[in-house]
Amino acid sequence: MAYNLINTTPPQGKKTPLTTGEKPLIDSSGRTINYLRLSVTDRCDLRCSYCMPERMKFLPKNEVLNFEELERLVDVFASRGVRKLRITGGEPLVRKDIVKLLEKLGEKKQNSGIHEIALTTNATLLTKYAEDLQKFGIGRINISLDTLNKEMFKTLTRRDVFDDVMSGIHAAKKAGLHIKINTVVLKDSNEKEIPEIVIWAHENEFDISLIELMPMGEGMAHRSRDFSSLKDVKTRLEQQWKLTSETFSTGGPSRYYRVKETGGRIGFISPLTDNFCDGCNRIRVTCTGMLHTCLGHEGGIDLKPAVRSDDWLNNTNEMLDHALMLKPAKHNFEVSKLDTPSTQRTMSVTGG
């Protein structure tokens, strides 16, 4: 089948091409994929102990897709019904000239089917980039922050940049970005601090999602020791607060609750204790063009040869048709197998 990026009449004053109309991405379990998480680098300026080892071996630079190739990917996915794009990594803001890519992607909100572009960041570079994000229409950001304690931050991330992160968060708030804090809950380190982090987030009018540690990547600290069940965390929070379930959803795995006492919203992302795979609407592509249909499975499909070919549009589309049939019904993570990683690759390679 020959695929097209179909040109339709653009909205007044907006640029062509509009990309619409091809076969939607429906996997073998009947789930429609409309959300792409695109990693633009596997490199990072932090070394969160649960995410990557201190001496991380990064992907070869010549294998990393250039901006034109990343844009091609976004165009193909948009033409197949992807409506939400999240830029991630590694740390996306460490990629050289990232602003140029963000500007180009921002334009896709005007001239493709992409309705929303979001970004996940550790906030170290937000002082520099927050206004650019706002300018290019990337209005929603997830900021990963596991502690408000400077010493604990240094221990968890192996870098002494807590003040930069706080300044970055402040700059993002000032620029008017919608902020959600993501916090991985770790037993015996930040677990006791969770109520304080939630209060801080809500006082600043940020949403917050708590995340269960997932067994990804080899050579990291003992996961069975660090793992904290969010079922238990929620039960403890309910001893001090009234949580009311919300219908609100970002189309993601977070189950949201309103906290009566703070007025804010809290999400629980519990892949191990509350499986959410039935509603999975997402797909991930790494910075080298490896497509992973599931976070918790080893398999991947290399889109790079297709994206780099002359007939990139048809070739990439054909790879997508093939990949969809391989999307597993559910992830492989299990509490009883925490010390055996489900995937060799870390979250920083997959794109969290």
Contact set with ligand SAM (CB under 6 A): 44, 50-51, 88-89, 91, 120-122, 144, 182, 184, 211, 213-214, 216, 347-348, 352
Task: Find the binder of ligand SF4 among 5, 18, 25, 44 (CB under 6 A).
Answer: 44
**Count of residues near ligand SF4 by CB under 6 A:** 12
Among 33, 38, 48, 165, binds ligand SF4 (CB under 6 A): 48
* CA dist., res. 319 & res. 80, Å (int): 13
Query: CB of 237 within 8 A of CB of 262?
Result: no
Contact flag: residue 47 with ligand SF4 (CB under 6 A): yes
186 contributes a contact to ligand SF4 by CB under 6 A:
no
Give the shortest CB-318-to-ligand SF4 separation in angstroms.
31
φ and ψ of 28, to 5 deg = -70, -15
Task: Please give the distance of CA 196 from its chain centroid, rounded to a whole number.
Answer: 24
| Smallest distance, ligand SAM to C-beta of residue 76, A | 23
- Can residue 122 be called a binding residue for ligand SF4 (CB under 6 A)? yes
Residue 156 as a binder of ligand SF4 (CB under 6 A): the answer is no
Spatial distance between the Cα atoms of 214 and 296, rounded to a whole number of angstroms: 8
52, 105, 114, 214: residue in contact with ligand SF4 (rule CB under 6 A) = 52
When asked if residue 51 is in the footprint of ligand SF4 (CB under 6 A), the reply is yes
Q: Which of 27, 348, 349, 350 binds ligand SF4 (CB under 6 A)?
A: 348
Please tell me whether residue 226 binds ligand SF4 under the rule CB under 6 A: no
Nearer to ligand SF4, 19 or 142 (CB): 142
CA distance 140 to 118: 5
* Residues 68-97, interacting with ligand SF4 (CB under 6 A): 89-91
**3-state class (DSSP) for residue 99:** helix
Please report, for residues 194, 255, 260, 286, 290, the alpha-carbon distance to residue 305 in angstroms, rounded to integers and kept in the order given: 45, 38, 52, 14, 10
Instruction: Compute CA 190 distance to the chain's CA centroid, rounded to the nearest angstrom.
Output: 21
Q: Is 30 left (phi over 0), alpha (psi -120 to 50) or beta?
A: left
Report in angstroms how near the CB of residue 87 gets to ligand SAM at its nearest.
Answer: 9
- Does the N-terminal peptide bond of residue 271 adopt cis geometry, omega within 30 degrees of 0? no
Question: What is the sign, positive or negative, of the torsion defined by CA atoms of 108, 111, 114, 118?
Answer: positive
- How many Cβ atoms are within 10 Å of 251's Cβ, its own excluded? 14
Question: Judged by CB under 6 A, does residue 46 bind ligand SF4?
Answer: yes
Closer residue to ligand SAM (CB): 71 or 226: 226
- Residue 47 contact, options ligand SF4, ligand SAM, none, Cβ 5-8 Å cut-off depending on partner type: ligand SF4
Residue 192: is it exposed, middle or buried by C-beta count within 10 angstroms (0-12/13-18/19+)? Answer: exposed
Does residue 245 contact residue 303 with C-beta atoms inside 8 Å?
Answer: no
Site string for ligand SF4, 125-144 (x = CB under 6 A): -------------------x
Cβ nearer to ligand SAM, comparing 144 with 316: 144
- Residue 77 structure tokens: 């996915």
- Note the residues at the interface with ligand SF4 (CB under 6 A): 44, 46-48, 51-52, 89-91, 122, 144, 348
